[in-house]
Amino acid sequence: MRIGLVCPYRWDRPGGVQYHVRDLAETLRGLGHHVEVLTPAEHEESLPAEHVTFAGRTVPIPYNGSMASVQFGPISAARVRRWLREGHFDVVHVHDPAPPSIGLLVLIIAKGPIVATFHAATVRSKWLAVWGPVVRPWLERISGRIAVSDFARRLQVEHLGGDAVIIPNGVHVRVFAEGPELPGRARGAGGPTVGFLGRYDEPRKGLPVLLEAMRDVVRRHPTARLLIAGRGDPDGLRTAIGPELQPHVELLGELTEADKAAFLRSVDVYCAPNLLGESFGIILIEALAAGAPIVASDLDAFAAVLEDGEVGVLVRRGDARALAAALGELLADPDRRADLSARGREVAWGYDWSVVARQVLAVYETVVVPGSGAVTATDDDADVLAVSADDGPGHPPRRRRVRR
């Protein structure tokens, strides 16, 4: 099967959707399929030499305290059209198709079987409340819909209409299950360690709640340490840690993929104190695969991965006292940690890419009609939806006619 994957986010900037598309492409190729990826990037030379096509650069737009990448207009449309015509795809798979990026352009221009995966994780979105009715006619061109979790499914049902089959994010389980630990930080050696991985200056990741909890944890476990990995402002973080907790905290900075796996194999407990905005929680699957017992906030997406507390400990989100109690109890109970580690490894195999990719292929097979020919690009002139910077975020997009 010839498959075209569309990633709307910068390929050269780490992110969950980018990793998802990359790993899905690699797995499908390993199963004998021809797979091409269309994606934006900051620098074209940062893309792999084969199977990945540069769609141009994105424009960052500030919205809701973060930056949304927008890529739209006639130049991007021309790149999409050329990619579709040269690809001769049996099916095109678009990720996060609703925002004004190349994914939506594919829906406007492509003619043929289209599958879409919804990754978004906002309970109520002002942006989608405005944008949803405008893009819905093009979303109706999607032949098969996938959501990475029930949370993501509910979002697209509420704002965009239609329904979706749930297929979770995938993980290369063996990468996390096997290999060395971080040098000098073997699990079970020395004082107990708690791990946190994420952008630590992003409030929704919940690191301040974990820091508050660790102040109680170290009173009960004086040799306990907190290992923090990720991106952010280290000086601001050290101020938040404070002198009392500082001896118990180590900042590891941003990790490579290999070091991330070693990090998860090293910690005695992995903590995910996130407050909101998680549609799935791929880091939890990676931690389970690495054998790390987990304490996580009770977000719907996390509860689903941890099977409502059967393979990990769930605590009320934002509750530092409850988090401290859960961490302290787990660090004091090596038998329970060993049980959670064994059960977690078993559960993680259900999310291995060898399983997930075949579920995605099953969706492709439901939308591809034998003998119908390849996906094509429309030839007629049409309205291309353009977002004017003068409108500003949160305002309804305006239509203007663009002649191709």
Q: What is the pLDDT of residues 87-111, one digit of tens each?
A: 999 999 999 887 778 898 999 999 9
Residue type, 402: V
Please state, as a whole number, how many other Cβ atoms lie within 10 Å of the Cβ of residue 84: 25
Total-model pTM: 0.84
Q: Which residues, at least 6 apart from 353, have a Cβ–Cβ distance to it below 8 Å?
A: 23, 24, 27, 170, 171, 172
Q: What are phi and psi of 266, to 5 degrees?
A: -95, -30
Residue type, 117: T
Please state, as a whole number, how many other Cβ atoms lie within 10 Å of the Cβ of residue 7: 29
**CATH code, domain with 111:** 3.40.50.2000
Asked whether the beta carbons of 76 and 103 are under 8 A apart, the reply is no
Six-digit token string for 121: 């994780």
What are the residues facing 398 on neighbouring strands? Answer: 386
Residue type, 257: E
Is the same domain home to 304 and 390?
A: no
Is the same domain home to 130 and 252?
A: no
The burial class, CB within 10 Å (0-12 / 13-18 / 19+), for 8 is buried
Average pLDDT, the chain: 86
Q: Which domain holds residue 32?
A: 2-170+353-400
Q: What is the pLDDT of residue 359?
A: 97
Q: What is the pLDDT of residue 75?
A: 82
Is the same domain home to 20 and 160?
A: yes
Is the same domain home to 323 and 286?
A: yes
What would the mean pLDDT of 129-156 be, rounded to a whole number?
A: 79
Residue type, 365: E
Is the same domain home to 211 and 164?
A: no
Is the same domain home to 314 and 198?
A: yes
Nearest in space to 106 (alpha carbons), one of 132, 87, 125, 128: 87
pLDDT at 203 over 50: yes
pLDDT at 335 over 90: yes
pLDDT level of residue 225 (50, 70, 90 thresholds): very high
pLDDT at 374 over 50: yes
Domain-ending residue, one of 350, 374, 389: 350
Residue type, 362: A
309 vs 66 pLDDT, higher one:
309
Structural element, H or E, at residue 251: strand 249-253
Is the same domain home to 275 and 287?
A: yes
pLDDT level of residue 337 (50, 70, 90 thresholds): very high
What are the residues facing 391 on neighbouring strands? Answer: none
pLDDT at 62 over 70: no
Is the same domain home to 75 and 36?
A: yes
Q: List C-alpha distances in Å: 210 to 45, 181, 266, 341.
A: 39, 23, 19, 21
Domain tally, the chain: 2
pLDDT at 313 over 70: yes
Is the same domain home to 239 and 379?
A: no
Domain-ending residue, one of 323, 350, 377: 350
Structural element, H or E, at residue 225: strand 225-229
What are the residues facing 92 on neighbouring strands? Answer: 4, 114
pLDDT level of residue 160 (50, 70, 90 thresholds): low
What would the mean pLDDT of 79-93 be, rounded to a whole number?
A: 95
What would the mean pLDDT of 2-30 be, rounded to a whole number?
A: 92
Domain-ending residue, one of 313, 333, 350: 350
Strand-pair category, 384-386 with 398-400: antiparallel
Six-digit token string for 111: 């003619």
Strand-pair category, 110-111 with 376-377: antiparallel
pLDDT at 389 over 50: no
Q: List C-alpha distances in Å: 186 to 181, 220, 283, 346.
A: 6, 22, 20, 22
Please state, as a whole number, how many other Cβ atoms lie within 10 Å of the Cβ of residue 243: 7
Is the same domain home to 311 and 387?
A: no
Is the same domain home to 32 and 87?
A: yes
pLDDT level of residue 399 (50, 70, 90 thresholds): very low
What would the mean pLDDT of 187-208 be, rounded to a whole number?
A: 91
Asked whether the beta carbons of 99 and 63 are under 8 A apart, the reply is no
Q: What is the pLDDT of residue 65?
A: 41
Is the same domain home to 162 and 217?
A: no
What would the mean pLDDT of 110-117 be, rounded to a whole number?
A: 95
What would the mean pLDDT of 188-214 be, rounded to a whole number?
A: 92
Q: What is the pLDDT of residue 398?
A: 40
